[in-house]
Amino acid sequence: MSLTITSWNINSVRLRIELVAKFVKAVRPDILCLQETKCPDDKFPLKRFKRLGYEHVALNGQKGYHGVVVLSRLPFEATNIRTFCDNLDSRHVSVMLGARAGLARPLTLHNFYVPAGGDIPDPASNPKFAHKLAFLDEMRDCAELHPGDADHHVLVGDLNVAPHEHDVWSHRQLLDVVSHTPLECEKLLAVRDRGGWIDVARARVPLSEKLYTWWSYRAADWQAADRGRRLDHIWVSPALAGRVGGFHVARRARGWERPSDHVPVTTVLEL
């Protein structure tokens, strides 16, 4: 069976519910992972998503900030929330799908919203940056993020780091800008390497090619300037490396009315 998974930092799910509806009606992902929902669980628009076909929901939200959710057309076997850095700031949720979803082998999916880190790339003077670095270190050491050789695991989310030279519009100019500093890139790649994860985007798109998923609101004409960064990621465990049937960045969504500054990223797994 084919399983289509989309990850999208929506930057307020209630504000942009119509954009989500527009996207899912066109793409119809089986699983939709949203970050920065900015919505407490009791205010989440469950009824609207059920009308869109997403009957199964794993929520971890809070008022006004952060928040992650996994919405699925397929039933879960289990859900889980993990707290990082002893901070209840709604940055992780995971689900496990199995026989009830028609899968021969269980699949675990993690949805993350890594801290942005503020503006100053100095942990001594910027607590937000220190939090981001500690969060990445904890991800690296988290046993749940170290899948075995046969495990079907997926990790998605706004990881808030563009780790490679062509994941940003100007490697040289952004070396001192939070999201592309050498220290952040090193720490995110350590998370990937420690868990043996495969970065789906860079497995499909050569490192020599520019690839972005985020464009700042500050640009008067984001498309003409094209000063983007690849902050949104989909990783798969080694057992799924040969089962990736497709990958797509929905760049067009950045041009919709009142858009998120991030766009949907989608992969298809052949299970």
- pLDDT tops 90 at residue 240: yes
Q: How much is the average pLDDT of 70-87?
A: 97
- pLDDT tops 90 at residue 40: yes
The whole-model pTM stands at: 0.98
* 201 contacts 230 by C-beta, under 8 angstroms: yes
Read off the pLDDT band of 181 (50, 70, 90): very high
Residue 262: what pLDDT? 98
Residue 183: what pLDDT? 98
Read off the pLDDT band of 117 (50, 70, 90): very high
Residue 116: what pLDDT? 98
- pLDDT tops 90 at residue 220: no
Query: What percent of the chain shows pLDDT beyond 70?
Result: 100
Q: Which residues contact 133 (CB under 8 A, 6 or more apart)?
A: 117, 123, 183, 184, 187
Q: Which residues of 35-73 are buried (b: 16+ CB within 10 A; e: fewer)?
A: bbbbbebeebbbeebeebebebbbbbbbeeebbbbbbbb
Q: Mean pLDDT across the chain, nearest whole number?
A: 97
Domains of the chain with CATH codes: 2-270 (3.60.10.10)
